[in-house]
Amino acid sequence: MTRQHIKILIVDDEPNILMSLEFLMKKEGYRVFIARDGEEAFDIIRSEVPDVVLLDIMMPKVNGYEVCTFIKTSPMYQHIKVVFMSSKSREIDLQKGYELGADLYIPKPFSTRDMVSKVNALATSTL
């Protein structure tokens, strides 16, 4: 399996962040899907069953916590790796994220190199 077979879903309501991450992940060779809010994310999770989800928390309609809970409590999807990325960066915010079952929590703003290497490591573990 190559990275071509690994699906990454990026969920964020900020178009510019979405744009940067899409660029970065495509460059790494993953199959990239994007969603602008939680509802779009649900659709893609059901249709594509991604391997990794990069998930913003504060979004309109359905927020990141709900998406993460949906993934981690569903037998069909709970294998999906979830990476929270949020400007909520206090200790309790991180704790809450991990309690919901997230595999990684990356505070915003993040270093793109850091983000890429962490996602790569996580994605490799799914192989």
Partner 1 sequence: MSSLWIITLSLIYLLVLFGIANWAERRAVAHRSIVNNPYVYALSLAVYCTAWTFYGSVGRAAESGPDFLSVYIGPTFLIPLWWVIFRKIIRICKVQRITSIADFISARYGKNRALGGIVTLVCLLGIVPYISIQLKAITISFSILSGHQPLATQSFWSDQSFYIALALIIFTILFGTRKLEANERHEGLVAAIAFESLIKLFTFIAVGLFVTFGLFNGFTDIFSRAAEVPDLQKLFVLPQEQTGSWFWHCLLAAIAILFLPRQFQLTVVENTNENHLRKAQWLFPLYLLIINIFVLPIALSGKLIFGNDTIPSDTYLLALPLHFKQQGLAFLTYLGGFSAATSMIIVECTALTVMFTNNLLMPVLVGRPSWQKGLGSSGGSFVLNARRLFIGVIILLAYLYYKNVSDKYSLVSVGMVSFAAVAQFAPAALGGIFWKKANLVGAMGGILAGSTVWLYTLIIPSMVSNGFISTDFLTYGPAHISWLRPEALFGLESMDNLSHGVFWSLFFNLIFYVCGSLHFGQSALEHNQAALFVDIFKYDTSYERSVAWRGKALITDIVTLMSKFFGKTRAERALTLYARRNKLSLQTKYADPMLVNYAEKMLSGAIGAASARIVVASVAKEERITVDEVIDILKTSQELKTVNEELTRKSRELEALTHQLKQANDKLRVSEQQKDDFLSTVTHEIRTPLTSIRALSEIIHDNPDMELSQQQHFLTTIIKESDRLTRLVNQVLDLERYETGRYQLSKETFSIQTLISESINSIEQLAKEKEIIIKTSYQGSLGNIYSDYDRLMQVLINLLSNAIKFCPSQNGLIEVLAKVENGILLISVKDNGPGISPELQALIFDKFYQAESKHNRKAKGSGLGLAISKKIIELCKGDIQVQSTLGEGAVFTFQIPTMMS
Q: Which of 59, 68, 119, 122 binds partner 1 (CB under 8 A)?
A: 59
Long-range contacts (CB closer than 8 Å, 24 or more residues apart) made by 86-90:
86/56, 86/57, 86/58, 87/58, 88/57, 88/58
Query: End-to-end CA distance of the chain, in Å?
Result: 7
The least CB distance from residue 4 to partner 1, in Å, is 20
* The pair of three-digit structure tokens given for residue 116, joined into one six-digit string: 């890429």
Q: Which of 31, 88, 96, 118 binds partner 1 (CB under 8 A)?
A: 88
Q: Which of 78, 111, 117, 125 binds partner 1 (CB under 8 A)?
A: 111
24 contacts partner 1 (rule: CB under 8 A): yes
94 contacts partner 1 (rule: CB under 8 A): no
